[in-house]
Amino acid sequence: MTARNSDAPVLMAQCQGLWRRTLLVDTDGSQDISTDVRWLQGRTRFVDLRRPTPRPDFGGTAGAADLTAQQRGWLRMQDGFAGELTQRGNIFHWQRHIAMQPPGPFPDEGAMSYSDGILVETGVHADYFEHWILDAPTGECWAMDLESGSGDRALLLRVGELFGWAHRDAAGAVELSLGAIAGNEWVITDSALPYREGHALAPSWDTQGKSLHTNAIDAQGTPITREWLVGFTEGNVTF
């Protein structure tokens, strides 16, 4: 991250890119430097993935039907959310459209500032602070909110050569994934469902350009295709 003056205000437009949390000091004074926390921010949309380390071996796990009790326990320890970021003065508000855990008693709001080139988030409704560093800056940047005919909801976000994907099905199950784009290949590299890593999301328009298709898998790991209707968009959407 380019060092910024500690007195300079933090602007949303400066936060586009992939951020990694390096420190959490929680309300009880405890510190966390081990949880793998990554926040991919676009113009307004974002995907935030939080995974405890270490994680169990998921080798040979094709889908949800193959999960062991140990693996299921680790999955339940994860957190993450996706939605819309807004700014009021130095206060950032992360509105969670899709989330892995139930909402807390207060809005997710933090006062943002710079300190020695580090982005510092200080809780507004709770006494905590987090340190963030920029792992990958922005490039081409767009996002789409999606819905299916069966009541599923999703968010697809592109930031440079990275993408974020969030999906909540009608039953409430959530997938949060981050990935890399190389040419026409959209490959999931990190996911709240580790057996999705290495799979191609492959977003594409239907022949009439009215609906979006993405790759997915069923509980047994069999490839399937999902169809989406596009709601909100921002930026120049291209594949």
Query: How many independent structural domains does the chain possess?
Result: 2
* Residues 215 and 159 grouped into a single domain: yes
pLDDT tens by residue, 191-202: 999 999 999 999
pLDDT tens by residue, 5-42: 567 899 999 999 999 999 999 999 999 999 999 999 99
CATH number at residue 177: 2.40.128
56: preceding bond cis by omega (within 30 degrees): no
pLDDT tens by residue, 143-193: 999 999 999 999 999 999 999 999 999 999 999 999 999 999 999 999 999
| Residue 93 · residue 107 · CB < 8 Å | yes
Judge whether 5 lies within some domain. Answer: no
Judge whether 107 lies within some domain. Answer: yes
Judge whether 4 lies within some domain. Answer: no
* Residues 19 and 132 grouped into a single domain: yes
The secondary element (H helix, E strand) that includes residue 193 is none
CA dihedral 129, 35, 95, 118 (to 10 degrees): 40
The secondary element (H helix, E strand) that includes residue 32 is strand 31-32
CATH number at residue 114: 2.40.128.280
* Amino acid, res. 83: G
Q: Which domain holds residue 151?
A: 141-234
